[in-house]
Amino acid sequence: MNSVATEKAGAPGFSRLVTIPGPVGRENWTGDLAVQACRDLESGHIVFLPNSPIEIPWEDRELLLGRKQSSSAYHKNIAYRPLEDRVTGLDSSEAGDAEKLRRIMRDFSRRSVEFLSDFLSPYAKTWKQELASFRPIEEKGRQARVHARNDLLHFDSFPTRPTNGARILRFFTNINPAQGRVWLTSQTFEAFGPMMVKAGRLTASVNNPVRRAAYTVARKLHLRGAHRSPYDDLMHRCHNLMKEDAQFQEDTPKNRWEFPPNSSWMVFTDCVSHAVLSGQYALEQTFLVPHSALVEPQRSPLAILESLAGRRLTV
Ligand SMILES: O=C(O)CCC(=O)C(=O)O
Ligand SMILES: [Fe+2]
Which amino acid does the sequence have at 120? L
CA-CA distance, 126 to 289, in Å (whole number)?
7
Phi, psi dihedrals of residue 145, rounded to the nearest 5°: -60, 155
CA-CA distance, 75 to 7, in Å (whole number)?
37
For residue 213, the model assigns a pLDDT of: 72
Judged against a pLDDT cut of 50, whether residue 2 lies above it is answered with no
State whether the beta carbon of 94 lies less than 6 angstroms from ligand 1.
Answer: no
Ligand 1 atom at minimal distance to the Cα of residue 279: 3
**Domain-embedded: residue 103:** yes
With bands split at pLDDT 50, 70 and 90, how would you rate the model's confidence at 9? low
| pLDDT tens digits for range 241-300 | 999 999 999 999 999 999 999 999 999 999 999 999 999 999 999 999 999 999 999 999
Environment class of 224 (CB within 10 Å of its CB; exposed 0-12, middle 13-18, buried 19+): exposed
| pLDDT tens digits for range 51-69 | 999 999 999 999 999 875 5
| pLDDT tens digits for range 190-235 | 999 999 888 877 777 777 777 777 777 767 777 666 678 999 999 9
Out of 18-32, 87-101, 167-181, 267-281, pick the least confident: 87-101
- For residue 133, what are the β-bridge partners? 79, 284
Name the residue at shortest CA distance from atom 7 of ligand 1. Answer: 150
**Chain centre to alpha carbon of residue 93:** 30
**Domain-embedded: residue 295:** yes
Domain count, the chain: 1
Mean pLDDT of the 148-158 span: 96
**Domain-embedded: residue 122:** yes
What is the extent of the structural domain holding 71? 6-309
**Domain-embedded: residue 112:** yes
Q: What is the DSSP string of 100-160?
A: HHHHHHHHHHHHHHHHHHHHTHHHHTT-EEEEEEEE-S--TT----GGG-SSS-B----TT
Judged against a pLDDT cut of 60, whether residue 6 lies above it is answered with no
- Helix count and strand count (H, E) for the chain: 11, 11
**Domain-embedded: residue 1:** no
Size of the chain in residues: 315
State whether the beta carbon of 276 lies less than 6 angstroms from ligand 1.
Answer: yes
The CATH number of whichever domain residue 83 belongs to comes to 2.60.120
**Domain-embedded: residue 16:** yes
Angle between helix axes 301-309 and 230-244 (nearest 10 degrees) is: 100
State whether the beta carbon of 46 lies less than 6 angstroms from ligand 1.
Answer: no
Beta-carbon contacts of 8 under 8 Å, excluding residues fewer than 6 positions away, are: 14, 253, 254, 255
